[in-house]
Chain A
Amino acid sequence: MKRHIKQSTMRRLISLAMLLALIALFGVLGGMSFLSTGNFSEIFRNASVVAIVGVGVTYVIITSGIDLSTGSMMALVAMTMANIYAYTLLPIWSMILIGIAVGLVAGLVNGIIVAKLNVPEFIGTLATLGIFRALTYLIAITDANGVIQSQPLTVPEYTVLGGSIGAVFYVTVAMAIFVIAGEVVLKYTRFGTNLYAVGANKKSATLSGIDVPRTRMIAYVIVGFCVAVGSVFTTARLQSTTALLGSGFEFNPIAAAVIGGVSLAGGSGDIIGTLIGSVFMATLENGLLKLHMNTAFQYIIKGIVIVAVVIFDSLYRKRMDRIAKEHGAQAEEGVGA
């Protein structure tokens, strides 16, 4: 009897192998400038915000939803904090708390639109992508001529969050906390189990007594929280924000989740997968940069990687399903013979 390896374990090994292969490839092409400790600490720093937001986005994708508004939401949170910084005397910690509150409210808005008003996820969050960005422009700080300015956020108690302990940036520490907490919630709480149930089959989940709208809504609120934290670390690093902050960012956590084995069909995947996906994306970006690849090509290559992974996943799943089916049919016939 052949040991039946779990499909999810196999998929995890594959994404890890992909990441290692990528590191090996850039190691050969880029040499020490790629393989240095400093560079890896940089890669992890770049992967961190994506992975933090990825925790929430993974929850949403597991429920078979999607969130396209994370980039705009990040800008809205940052611009709110910039206004508080520029126009009030509130302490830094309360500025951060208000930023997080804005993230939670923005997530709740997504949740209500999608889960309560039953707008398809793709359309609902595409709409809020526009709305959050527009709100950012409305509250953006302008000069005397009405031209939007980049708003500095240079107070040291804040920008310290962009720093590091040794080779490990604070944002990476925060990411580690988010990933561990995110994985524990997903695997060891009823809420986590409910996320899978909702994503696998909403009707079955309802029959099992799960409050499906509420579960989906909470997932979107968690995205809002993750985005707000991501926004704090991003602006602390940049020491400023602009109305354009985070445009196109929404692509990254979704891509990271998909690369890490979270199925867009819902019901499968986990946070560790998304972490691997985030590091993969950051490694790809970093390596291409080290090879002095034109930024435009970077986007093309990222796009190709995503398409390739999705194609691979669908072929892989089909194959595994067929093997499972044959396995099942044999088991069924084998018993009485």
Chain B
Amino acid sequence: MSKELLLEANHIYKSFSGIPVLHDVHFDVRRGEVHALMGENGAGKSTLIKIITGIYTKDAGQISWEGKPVEINSYQDCLNLGISCIYQELSVIPPLTVAQNVYLRKEPLRAGLIDYNKMNSMTQQLIDLYDFPLKPTTLVEDLGMGQRQLVEILKGLSNDSKLLIMDEPTSSLSGKEAESLFGIICKLRDQGVSIIYISHRLEEVYRLSDRLTILRDGKNAAVLEKDEIIPKMVIETMIGKEMEEVDDSSKELRSDEGPVCLEVKSLTDSANRFRNISFQVRHGEILGIGGLIGAGRTEIVRAIYGVDKAASGEVLLDDERLDPNPALSISKGIGFVPEDRRKQGFIPLLSTVKNVALTNYDIIKRTGMAIDENDELELSKKAIEAIDIRPADPQKEVGTMSGGNQQKVVLGKWLVRGLKLLIVDEPTAGIDVGAKAEIYSILDQLASDGVAVIVVSSDLQELLRVSHRIIVMRKGGIVREFKDETVTQAKILAAMQGVEEGEKR
């Protein structure tokens, strides 16, 4: 790897309506390196990237490309330089083929018409060059999320990009898909492509990056060379405070002795996404459910809560048989925080008050037919207090808050009612480290108050951190239960992948 600078941004300033977001930030990328960019939500990462890609204009500062000063005023300018951005929300077009997506707006033409033969063979050449598991003529809608990401990368590479910006590229990938992405990132680096890698997943950053820039509160907190990257220090630099020693590699699991809260017996899905699932959760226990995407984890908790109907099997809450549907579940004391909070967890245009009230109208006072607005407000204040939403403005639209605060609102609306069971699906996806820690402590608190908690998560570290007991699902069935033993990430991963440790070569 050369030390030659490809991109250099100096003294970057940016503020929105008077509030400084970036303050004298320096950031540079060398040719052929993976440069990670980290920071809590609101630290200024996305603003910096949007300035580099021409979506925002900087207030002050200088950007140089290959040693020459440049002005980047639009995304097109950035493409022309050779910078491509792979967004967290993919920008591929599902009804088009891989080749059509890669060459969108730059289709090879013959006599004014698109030359599909040429386009497909050009795409095939790119695919061969980087050895991607893709075919030019497959429709993108038939691909999994991981492959769609590869199409997006290919699209960037087809611009002869020298710099790829990847924003949370693994957020929607399974473990295996992420693995193959890491391989591809290394391969690209070896071919001289530079990569800016933005991620909340610390272990990915440690593994991949040659250098790491950490932003905090819109300022440079640190720029570290590979051998200077020490996990504990990175976290402390990001959050700007000492944190107690967290051992994330293994954990002693413990049994809970509380009475059984939820019992699931032989639950089977009509579409065969899970079958013959039986387990119990006790009061005061946090049960972690792990597994690859598509293993049936989300589907089973949705069936327990009653969003989807199971074909057969029983769900018992405190020994009472339920025929689950969401309204009944709520009234029986089951709370559910879905996987995709933006689509399913809250109503973005409504305030915290209304979002909290929505699932709690049964416990809000009424004057005749009308809702008692004071009681409604009181309830939301209770929620804000319980979960520490900042700023503590009950009237603020939830859609305008940060991801961490949004998730806290979603949790908060369940905390104001007497819960027996709380189900959370991927509770900290796309949330910064600080908010993560707070959400974990809320879950711990709930459990010690006697609530049974089910946590579905793809994040092994998270499963280890919160769970008292862990079950692992694979291809629609439970393959392993971890209790009363020392469990490590490796053991869970092996169970998820269907490889027992002994068989590993």
Contact = CB atoms under 8 A, between A and B. Distances in A.
A and B: bona fide binding partners: yes
Interface of A: 4, 6-7, 184, 187-190, 193-194, 196-197, 199-201, 203-205, 207-210, 267-268, 322, 324-329, 331-333, 335-337
A204 B92 contact: yes
A267 B101 CA distance: 13
B95 A268 contact: yes
Nearest to A325: B294
B475 interface: yes
Interface string B134-148: 000001011110100
B76 interface: yes
A337 B498 CA distance: 7
Nearest to B475: A333
B107 interface: yes
A332 B177 contact: yes
A329 B498 CA distance: 14
B92 A336 contact: no
B90 interface: yes
Nearest to B107: A190
Contact of A201 (B75, B91, B176, B177): B91
Contact of B104 (A187, A208, A324, A336): A208
A187 B115 CA distance: 11
A331 B92 contact: no
Contacts of A327: 142
Nearest to A185: B113
Given A193-B107, A197-B93, A332-B144, A207 B294 contact: no
Contacts of B273: 326
Contacts of B292: 332-333
Given A189-B114, A204-B92, A336 B176 contact: yes
Interface of B: 75-76, 79, 87, 89-96, 100, 104-105, 107, 109, 112-114, 116, 139, 141-144, 146, 155, 174, 176-177, 271-273, 292-294, 474-475, 497-498
Contacts of A197: 93, 96, 104
B150 to A, nearest CB: 13
Contacts of A7: 141
A208 B107 contact: no
A208 B93 CA distance: 10
B445 to A, nearest CB: 35
B495 to A, nearest CB: 13
Contacts of B95: 196, 199-200, 267-268
Of the listed residues A4, A200, A204, the one surrounded by the most CB atoms of chain B closer than 10 A to its CB is A204
Contacts of A6: 139
Contacts of A190: 105, 107, 109, 114
Contact of A324 (B100, B141, B271): B141
Contacts of B176: 332, 335-336
Contact of B87 (A207, A210, A328, A331): A207
Nearest to B271: A322
Given A197-B96, A336-B176, A208 B271 contact: no
Given A210-B105, A332-B176, A201 B93 contact: yes
Given A200-B94, A204-B92, A333-B294, A193 B100 contact: yes
Given A189-B114, A193-B96, A328 B91 contact: no
A207 B87 CA distance: 10
11 contacts: A187-B114, A197-B104, A199-B95, A208-B155, A209-B104, A267-B95, A329-B293, A329-B294, A332-B144, A332-B292, A335-B176
B113 to A, nearest CB: 4
A134 B247 CA distance: 75
A333 B112 CA distance: 43
B144 to A, nearest CB: 5
Contact of B271 (A196, A326, A335): A326
Of the listed residues B79, B95, B113, B176, the one surrounded by the most CB atoms of chain A closer than 10 A to its CB is B95
Contacts of B139: 6
A200 to B, nearest CB: 5
Nearest to A200: B93
A336 B499 CA distance: 10
A189 B112 contact: yes
B91 A193 contact: no
A336 B498 CA distance: 10
Nearest to B105: A209
Nearest to B111: A188
Contacts of A267: 93-95
Given A188-B113, A332-B144, 20 more contacts: A6-B139, A189-B112, A190-B109, A193-B100, A193-B107, A200-B93, A200-B96, A201-B91, A204-B90, A208-B91, A208-B105, A209-B105, A210-B104, A328-B294, A329-B144, A329-B293, A331-B144, A333-B292, A333-B294, A337-B498
Closest 5 CB pairs of A and B: A329-B294, A204-B91, A188-B113, A207-B91, A328-B144
A61 to B, nearest CB: 13
Contact of B114 (A193, A196, A332, A333): A193
B53 to A, nearest CB: 10
A229 B229 CA distance: 69
A203 B89 CA distance: 10
B135 to A, nearest CB: 12
B90 A184 contact: no
A204 B105 CA distance: 12
A209 B146 CA distance: 23
Contacts of B90: 204
A332 B174 contact: yes
A267 B141 CA distance: 11
Nearest to B174: A332
Nearest to B110: A188
Nearest to A205: B93
A184 B144 contact: no
Nearest to A321: B141
B144 A209 contact: no
B137 to A, nearest CB: 10
A4 B114 CA distance: 26
Nearest to A188: B113
Contacts of A189: 112-114
A184 B111 CA distance: 13
Contacts of A268: 95
Contacts of A332: 144, 146, 174, 176-177, 292-294
A188 B79 CA distance: 25
Contacts of A324: 141-142
Contacts of B497: 336
A230 to B, nearest CB: 26
Contacts of A201: 91, 93-94
B354 to A, nearest CB: 25
Of the listed residues B89, B155, B474, the one surrounded by the most CB atoms of chain A closer than 10 A to its CB is B89
Nearest to A324: B142
